[in-house]
Amino acid sequence: MRKLFGTDGIRGVANEELTAEIAFKLGNALAQEFKDEIKEILIGKDTRASCDFLECALASGIASGGVNARLVGIITTPGLAMLTRLLNVPGVMISASHNPFQYNGLKVINRGFKISDEKEMMLENLMENPVFSSSSSVGRVKTDSSLVELYVKRVCDMYKDTDFSSVRIAVDTANGAAYRITKMIYQQLGIKHDAFFDQPNGFNINEGCGSTNPEGLKRILENGRYDFGVLFDGDSDRCLMLSNRGTLVDGDKLMALNAVEMKKGGELKGNTVVATIMSNMGMEKYLNTHGISVERTKVGDRYVLHRMLAKGYTLGGEQSGHIIFLNRTTTGDGIITSLETMKNLLRARKTLDDLQNEIPTFPQKLLNIQAKNKNEIVENERLKDVVRSYTQSNEVRIIIRPSGTEPLVRIMVEAENESLVEKILQNVGDIVRKMAKT
């Protein structure tokens, strides 16, 4: 069983749970694992202040193991993923995505893809016994910011034939990794835009902004100057949108509207969208009426991607806005999601508000409860019996799962009747709270 890696890399409060020692040992383990295959490992980071010391420690570990470390600088997680695929090398992204600045994380990417659970276990074992190269064969550390421009060029090349000149948008970059890259790409593609929350200071990433805090951009949209708003998270692997009326358009609805247009264009392989167990039933019913099937996986983009690769599907993602266009790239990329959606809105000749209104949303309530014993609670048989009693019919869905990155039990209740959803959520929440105190 993995001790350090969670659902999305190694993550924790910087300098408490995630230390320089851990970063060093991971770098050394990566050097051990890949030394015979490659000459360098890329390192990218978001805008958190703690990224700097973790970058230094990680690069030191890589170099001590006899492999070169190439520092890309501030870049989005999907940007780094694309670079590892283009250069055929591994990489590490230093980011805690949508979490507050106190947290940070180390995400290992190999040639465009997140590594497997088995590979993570292997790295944890190697971290227990660092191996140091001789003084004559240590690696070097090099800074190469030109790689950001390579990513920008690749994305712009994908959309060079689309005329975006009629679009005007407001963009919230979450004071995160996308704060410069988004402007570079949008400007080159001729997209009229104004960027907000684009002044990172090391401590304001995701603070009152970004995909988890849309209220700031919603207020900006009230002036009526924009067609819609785009929201990224700290490392820009997620994208949500706001209609010109300020209505939040989540990942489910973005997948649905893109899927319908992709099907029309013959781009939706298998006429299927891959979603997770958290995706709304309203989205699934809407897609079904357009001859599109939905396959569900466990929560986590890696499970979505695995299903897509196994069956050759081109579109999948999560309600959170982590959406994968496999005909474009190998991971969820918020900037690409925004561009695909803009392209398909232009193709449909409809507004974002028009399209999102076509897609029904079943009442769905979420509740997060602090619990250090989160895994024990989720596996509790009494709790499972309660869930089964509510879900005997197909009218109610309840998902209870441990957070992969925080000491939380996450509860989701969905049904067509909102009062029933609230009643069930309160009852199940009370049970979980009692278990969390024991």
Residues in the chain: 438
Query: What is d(CA 161, CA 176) in angstroms, rounded to the nearest whole number?
Result: 29
Taking CB atoms within 8 Å and a gap of at least 24, the contacts of 309-312 are 311/270, 311/272, 312/269, 312/270
Query: What is d(CA 61, CA 23) in angstroms, rounded to the nearest whole number?
Result: 7
Query: What is d(CA 120, CA 144) in angstroms, rounded to the nearest whole number?
Result: 27
Indicate if 97 belongs to the active site. Answer: yes
CA angle 20, 26, 31 (to 5 degrees): 130
State both tokens at 96.
């805690």
Whole-number CA gyration radius for the chain: 22
Give the DSSP per-residue string, 333-390. Answer: -HHHHHHHHHHHHHHHT--HHHHHHHS----EEEEEEE-TTHHHHHT-HHHHHHHHHH
Taking CB atoms within 8 Å and a gap of at least 24, the contacts of 413-421 are 413/364, 413/365, 414/280, 414/281, 414/362, 414/363, 414/364, 414/365, 415/362, 415/363, 416/362, 416/363, 417/363, 418/363, 420/396, 421/363, 421/364, 421/365
Q: Return the axis-axis angle of helices 77-87 and 334-348, rounded to nearest 10°.
A: 100
Side-chain-side CA neighbours of residue 18 (13 Å) = 28
Which residue's structure tokens are 């695929």?
Answer: 85
Task: For residue 196, report the phi and psi dihedrals to the nearest 5 degrees.
Answer: -130, 160
State both tokens at 262.
């992709």
Active-site pick, 60, 64, 95, 97 = 97
Query: What is d(CA 283, CA 301) in angstroms, rounded to the nearest whole number?
Result: 18
Contacts of 161 (CB under 8 A, 6+ apart): none
Indicate the pairing of strand 323-325 with strand 315-317. Answer: antiparallel
User: Among 321, 340, 343, 342, which Cα is nearest to 332's?
Assistant: 321
**For residue 139, how far is the Cα from the chain centroid?**
31
User: Among 150, 22, 140, 153, which Cα is nearest to 92's?
Assistant: 22
**Residue positions annotated with a catalytic role:** 97
